[in-house]
Amino acid sequence: MNPSRRELMVSLALAAAAMSSHAAAPKLVIDVWTGPSCSCCRDWVKHLWANGLRTQVHDGGNSDARERLGMPLRYGACHTAAIGGYAIEGHVPAREILRLLKERPAAVGLSVPAMPRGSPGMDGPAYGQQPDPYDVLLVLRDGSARVYQSYS
C-alpha cells in the first residue's frame, strides 16, 4: 500500500471511530421541578446546561416530585430533579450528578439540603460572594445519608 493510500485509510478509520463514539454519547436530560416563586432554580438550571446536562423544567411541583421520588423531607430544598433513576434535591453541583451516574450506587439520590450560599445557583452577586461550606449527601434507600462530597 502506498503512503498516501495508507494515510487515507487511517484518516477514514479515525473519522469513523470518532463519529461512532460521538453518536453513542447520550444526551443527558434531567427533569427539574421548581419551588413556588424560587429565583435560584433557574440559575441552577443554567449551571446544569453549562456542564452538559439538558433540562426539562416544570414550574412548581417540587414537593410532589420529592415525595414521588422517595427523597425524605429532611433533605429538602427549593427544587427537586430526577435523572437516571435518581432524585436530585437542591443545589447539587453537576460534577456530583455526573459522578453519581457513573458510579451508580444503591441510593435514592443526592441532596444539598437548604440553600447554602456558594452552591451552584446560589453563587451569584446577589448572595454576597461569601460561600458557606456545604456537603453533598448521598441519600440511601433506608432514609439515612452520608457525605458524598464536601465543599468549602
> What domains are defined for the chain?
27-151 (3.40.30)
Q: Is the pLDDT of residue 23 over 60?
A: no
Instruction: Give the confidence band of 9 by pLDDT, cuts at 50, 70, 90.
Output: very low
Give me the pLDDT at residue 82, please: 97
Give me the pLDDT at residue 27, please: 72
Mean pLDDT, to the nearest integer, of 35-43? Answer: 80
Share of the chain above pLDDT 70, in %: 82
64 Cβ contact partners less than 8 Å away, ≥ 6 residues apart: 33
C-alpha span between 108 and 64 (Å, rounded): 15
C-alpha span between 143 and 65 (Å, rounded): 16
Choose between 129 and 59: higher pLDDT: 59
* Measured CA distances, 20 to 13, 24, 26 (Å): 11, 6, 12
At position 74, the amino acid (one-letter code) is: R
Instruction: Note the pTM of the prediction, 2 decimals.
Output: 0.80
C-alpha span between 28 and 103 (Å, rounded): 15
Instruction: Give the confidence band of 25 by pLDDT, cuts at 50, 70, 90.
Output: very low
Q: Is the pLDDT of residue 84 over 60?
A: yes
